[in-house]
């Protein structure tokens, strides 16, 4: 029974590997509100961890601590078992933490190349942008991910949702992401485009990238995630292995904030 395994932490299969990321006892407050309250999560290489919870459960806030957009008031972040400071988006990028946001990721007025290299432009000896080199790299990585992509010089505002998302993913691939945060990556996409993104996620996983997947869509998460972490009202409800639980049990965690098997009083 899964209950036994949960109530009594298993002594046998201790993972030989250290986690890629551990976020320990993280708390974030906005004014008087505790958006994230003493939450601990971890992520192994080649693993997808789904983060679930209602709006306002604190999952986006938690993940923005990792991507450097927010500061935690308490807690610790470890990468490869070593404590690190992530004070800015730049720090996160230096630790190969890449983030794909639902709608925040791209500067709409810039083209695919400019977005792909935003913040990390290639420069010529003169200090000017090496646009040819960047376009070349963009064409190569897009050719791998989305061979139909042609609009390299159009502002990304003129592209479809799927094309935009593939630009965002291309960015992480090009810069050798080790830890990938995906915030509702398919929320704005149609069925066919969602499938493309799912295939991409599986491919990234195979390459040993660890992925935090934030989603409202429980099917999305069951399809892709190895483990599922549920939050409610800023607190951690628990983390379960996807293959050990049913969708109803996870819904129970989201709605009631109860671990599967524990009694509802």
Partner 1 sequence: MSAIGRIIARLEVDPRLFGMLGALLVIWVGFDIASDGLFLTPRNLYNLSLQTASVAIMTIGMVMVIVTRQIDLSVGSLLGVLAMLMAVFQSRILPDHVFAYESAWIWPVTILFGIVCGIAIGGFHGWLIGYLGIPAFVVTLGGLLFWRGAAWWVTTGQTVSPLDERFELLGGGVFGTLGAQVGEWSSWLVGLIGIAALALGAARARRKRVTYGFPVRPIWAESIVTGIQCIVVLAFVTVMQAYEMPIVAANRFAEARGIPVPEDGIHIPEGIPIPILIVIALAIIFTVVLNRSRFGRYVYAIGGNPDAANLAGIDNRRMIFWVFVVMGLLTAISAAVASARLQSADNGLGTGDELRVIAAAVIGGTSLMGGIGTIGGAILGAVVIQSLQSGMTLLGADSSIQNMATAVVLVLAVFLDSLYQRRRKV
Question: Which residues make beta-bridge pairs with 22?
Answer: 42, 78
Q: What span, in angstroms and rounded, lies between the C-alpha atoms of 219 and 237?
A: 19
- The values of phi and psi at residue 249, to 5°, are -65, -40
Check residue 107 for interaction with partner 1 (CB under 8 A): yes
Residue 251 token pair: 């819904």
Check residue 215 for interaction with partner 1 (CB under 8 A): no
Check residue 7 for interaction with partner 1 (CB under 8 A): no
Check residue 129 for interaction with partner 1 (CB under 8 A): yes
Q: What span, in angstroms and rounded, lies between the C-alpha atoms of 39 and 104?
A: 25
The H or E element that residue 247 is part of is helix 247-256
CB 205 within 8 A of CB 169: no
Binding partner 1 by CB under 8 A: which of 7, 108, 207, 244? 108
Question: Which residues make beta-bridge pairs with 50?
Answer: 213, 228
Binding partner 1 by CB under 8 A: which of 3, 7, 85, 88? 88
Q: What span, in angstroms and rounded, lies between the C-alpha atoms of 247 and 233?
A: 20
**Shortest spacing between CB 20 and partner 1, in angstroms:** 21
Binding partner 1 by CB under 8 A: which of 157, 176, 246, 247? 157
Check residue 114 for interaction with partner 1 (CB under 8 A): yes
Strands 97-100 and 179-183: parallel
Show the binding pattern over residues 35-74: x = contacts partner 1 (CB under 8 A), - = does not.
Answer: --------------------------------x-x-----
**Shortest spacing between CB 249 and partner 1, in angstroms:** 34
| Residue 47 per-residue DSSP state | -
**Shortest spacing between CB 22 and partner 1, in angstroms:** 23
The residue among 99 and 242 lying less far from partner 1, judged by its C-beta, is 99
Check residue 158 for interaction with partner 1 (CB under 8 A): yes
Q: Is 208 helix (H, G, I), strand (E, B) or coil?
A: coil
Residue 93 token pair: 């990028």
* Selected range binding partner 1 among 10-18, 47-55, 126-134, 233-241, rule: CB under 8 A: 126-134
Check residue 123 for interaction with partner 1 (CB under 8 A): yes
**Shortest spacing between CB 50 and partner 1, in angstroms:** 22
The H or E element that residue 216 is part of is none
Q: How far is CA 34 from CA 9, 29, 51, 52, 150, in A?
A: 28, 4, 18, 18, 45
**Shortest spacing between CB 199 and partner 1, in angstroms:** 25
Single out the residue of 60, 65, 59, 62 nearest to residue 84, CA to CA. Answer: 65
Binding partner 1 by CB under 8 A: which of 20, 105, 231, 237? 105
**Shortest spacing between CB 237 and partner 1, in angstroms:** 28
Check residue 90 for interaction with partner 1 (CB under 8 A): yes
List contacts with partner 1 (CB under 8 A): 67, 69, 88-90, 93, 99, 101, 104-110, 114, 118-121, 123, 127-129, 131-132, 135-136, 139, 157-158
């Amino acid at each position: 029974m899964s209950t036994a395994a949960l109530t009594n932490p298993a002594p046998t299969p201790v993972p030989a590997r250290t986690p890629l990321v551990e976020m320990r006892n993280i708390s974030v407050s906005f004014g008087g509100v505790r958006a994230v309250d003493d939450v601990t999560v971890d992520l192994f290489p080649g693993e997808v961890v789904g983060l679930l919870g209602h709006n306002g459960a604190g999952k986006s806030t938690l993940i923005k601590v990792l991507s450097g957009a927010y500061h935690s008031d308490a807690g610790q972040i470890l990468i490869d078992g070593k404590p690190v400071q992530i004070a800015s988006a730049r720090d996160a990028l230096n630790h190969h933490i890449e983030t794909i946001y639902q709608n925040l990721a791209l500067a709409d007025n810039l083209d695919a190349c400019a977005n792909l290299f935003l913040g990390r432009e290639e420069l010529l000896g003169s200090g000017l942008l090496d646009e040819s080199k960047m376009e070349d790299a963009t064409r190569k990585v897009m050719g791998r991910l989305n061979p139909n992509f042609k609009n390299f010089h159009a502002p990304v505002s003129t592209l479809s949702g799927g094309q935009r998302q593939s630009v965002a993913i291309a960015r992480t691939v090009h810069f050798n992401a080790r830890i990938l945060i995906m915030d509702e990556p398919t929320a704005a996409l149609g069925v066919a485009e969602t499938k493309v993104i799912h295939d991409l996620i599986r491919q990234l996983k195979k390459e040993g990238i660890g992925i935090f997947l934030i989603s409202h869509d429980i099917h999305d998460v069951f399809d892709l995630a190895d483990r599922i972490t549920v939050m409610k009202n800023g607190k951690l409800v628990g983390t379960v292995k996807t293959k050990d639980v049913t969708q109803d049990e996870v819904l129970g965690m989201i709605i009631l904030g109860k671990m599967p098997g524990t009694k509802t009083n």
